[in-house]
Amino acid sequence: MTTETLVFDSKQELLTTAAARFVDLVTRAQAERGVASVVLTGGSNGIGILSTLAADSGSIDWSRVDIYWGDDRFVPADDPERNSGQAREALLDKVPVDPGRVFPMAPSDGPFGDDIDAAAADYAAILAGRSSDGVAPHFDLHLLGMGGEGHINSLFPHRPATLETEKSVVAVEDSPKPPPRRITLTLPVVNRARSVWFLVAGADKAEAVAAAHAGADPADWPCAGAHGTEETLWFLDDAAAGKLD
């Protein structure tokens, strides 16, 4: 497993390079396995890479990409806070994805109504059903944004979701960052991905970046607990890299 950290002069340069490498990774996975599987994330850079890909997604055959989410906000489907809605607007409505290969988490006005535990269990069942071992796929790529306190997906410091070792998907009822109700993949499932990429910009993230690079306890800094089985790649701007040695 390799870990690499790339530092860029600007956020746009970071996103342009990440998008180009996304095209390479997906194209290679499709050549090797027929279908590529990617886990999208929300937040500024999680959506930023999708907007960059909308402008140029090179040789990707979008009809052969399985698309999952690392987390989403448990709000109505048309709420602008939905990570999946933002991803559709930024990219998925603009490229020829196969709707049968796009797997959003259920919203609060979906088939499970307000039952967030049922919605989380449904996503776990979707992942299990698409896996070779009844747990979850070995995704080709899991994209991650990160909060200043080191949260990834909806895994916040010292919360039960972050410490979960059995379940693949859990409900979060009290996210410190609004909105409070979310559904998230857990660290054991994030860590099934061949490649885990962090897309991080801004000085407010520098302490968390440094903690993860120093091997901090994931309970304190959840970002420190995410690793790809083949590759962990940090895309940072200068400010986010500001506290690295």
Ligand X SMILES: O=C1O[C@H](COP(=O)(O)O)[C@@H](O)[C@H](O)[C@H]1O
Residue 41 Cβ, how far from ligand X at the closest point, in Å? 4
Q: Which residues pair with 143 in a beta bridge?
A: 197
Contact residue for ligand X among 41, 86, 162, 168 (CB under 6 A): 41
Q: Count CB-CB contacts under 10 A for residue 97.
A: 18
Contact residue for ligand X among 107, 137, 145, 222 (CB under 6 A): 145
Q: Which two tokens stand for residue 135?
A: 């747990």
Residue 81 Cβ, how far from ligand X at the closest point, in Å? 9
Closest to ligand X by CB, 37 or 83:
83
Q: Which two tokens stand for residue 115?
A: 């039952």
Contact residue for ligand X among 88, 94, 130, 177 (CB under 6 A): 177
**Position closest to ligand X via CB:** 43
Residue 71 binds to ligand X (criterion: CB under 6 A):
yes
Closest CA to 72 of 106, 122, 117: 106
- Rounded Cα distance, 6 and 8, in Å: 7
Residue 162 binds to ligand X (criterion: CB under 6 A):
no
Contact residue for ligand X among 3, 10, 12, 44 (CB under 6 A): 44
Residue 154 Cβ, how far from ligand X at the closest point, in Å? 6
Residues 6+ apart with CB under 8 A from 135: 127, 128, 168, 189, 192
- Three-state SS annotation for 140-156: CEEEECCCCCCCECCEC
Give contact residues for ligand X (rule: CB under 6 A).
41-46, 71, 83, 145-147, 153-154, 177
